[in-house]
Amino acid sequence: MSTLAEMLSRRFGDGGPAAEGTEDNELMRRVLQRRTVRRYSDKAPSEALLDLLVACALSASAKSDFQQVSILRLRDAKKRDAIGALFPAMPWIANAPAFFVFLGDARRLHQIGQLRGKAVANGTLEGFFNASIDAALAMQTMILCAESSGLGVCPISVIRNEADRVAEILQLPDLVFPVAGLCLGYPAAAGFVSLRLPRSVTTHTDRYDDSTLAAAIDDYDRRRNAIHAIPKAQQRSNDEFGEAAFYGWSEDKARQAVKAEGATFAPYLRKQGFSFD
């Protein structure tokens, strides 16, 4: 079995802190080795396990104890196919043995206000943000618990690109919005640990400092390329940017981010009752 130091090296390869003197910890070992899984075996997770995972997800911490996540299990095959058909490049959405949608739910607090005769104003930016974070924490809690049960998962935020259609299919009311879907199933292949940015880039002590970013990103690109080079055929937007002789992570992410996603999400949220005041 790998040691924590070996796992840190595989995750970051940055020569950073190697956890000397710390005690072995199973959860941390799992987290350091975790990876997204998009292909699943035919074996379906049991209903009891899925119920347990939902309970674990709902045990995540929640801002002000407002408890603003709702979890929707999508069991209806027609509805799942309808959502999957919106994203043909991601067949795992329709094919995964189980699929959940994590919803930011700013509505329930309004309803509770009505029940108690109080005028609640939760369509604010703060209300939206709190509900989004609750949903994200619940999803990540389900992810870690699912992985510790031998399942593989893939979060699906692309559903927000078609939020109107998804909301129609799932009959989402005002102030309820999809944060992300989550595919679950037993992995069909081992997959791989994805190299993260060096900790010198993503961690700071006492003050923010990104003065060494350019060199660190070049180094990261080279190291990542040596492990998992992006094939020439997967270079994005070559019509616009041309074929790159060296196509690293940063070139890929910069090209990806030029085409901003989610243009329809803000109008969708405003229609759903968020004023963002």
Ligand X SMILES: Cc1cc2nc3c(=O)[nH]c(=O)nc-3n(C[C@H](O)[C@H](O)[C@H](O)COP(=O)(O)O)c2cc1C
**Residue numbers of the site for ligand X (CB under 6 A)?**
35-36, 38, 90, 154-158, 180, 194
Exposure on the CB side of residue 96, measured as CA atoms within 13 A: 29
- Reference 100, options 63, 48, 59, 138; nearest CA is 138
164 contacts: CB under 8 Å, gap ≥ 6: 264, 268
- Reference 2, options 41, 36, 30; nearest CA is 30
The distance of closest approach from Cβ of residue 112 to ligand X in the complex, given in angstroms and rounded to an integer, is: 28
Query: Residue 161 carries which DSSP code?
Result: G
Cβ-based nearer residue to ligand X, 149 or 157: 157
Cβ-based nearer residue to ligand X, 127 or 178: 178
**What are the Cα distances from residue 60, in Å, to 74, 99, 176?**
21, 19, 19
Cβ-based nearer residue to ligand X, 35 or 222: 35
Decide if 248 contacts 222 (C-beta within 8 A): yes
The distance of closest approach from Cβ of residue 132 to ligand X in the complex, given in angstroms and rounded to an integer, is: 10
If phi over 0 gives left and psi between -120 and 50 gives alpha, with beta otherwise, what is residue 23? beta
| Total Cβ atoms within 10 A of residue 135 | 26
The distance of closest approach from Cβ of residue 15 to ligand X in the complex, given in angstroms and rounded to an integer, is: 20
Cβ-based nearer residue to ligand X, 109 or 178: 178
Cβ-based nearer residue to ligand X, 133 or 172: 133
The distance of closest approach from Cβ of residue 185 to ligand X in the complex, given in angstroms and rounded to an integer, is: 14
The distance of closest approach from Cβ of residue 79 to ligand X in the complex, given in angstroms and rounded to an integer, is: 18
**Helix crossing, 163-170 with 77-86: angle to 10°?**
180
Cβ-based nearer residue to ligand X, 101 or 109: 101
The distance of closest approach from Cβ of residue 156 to ligand X in the complex, given in angstroms and rounded to an integer, is: 4
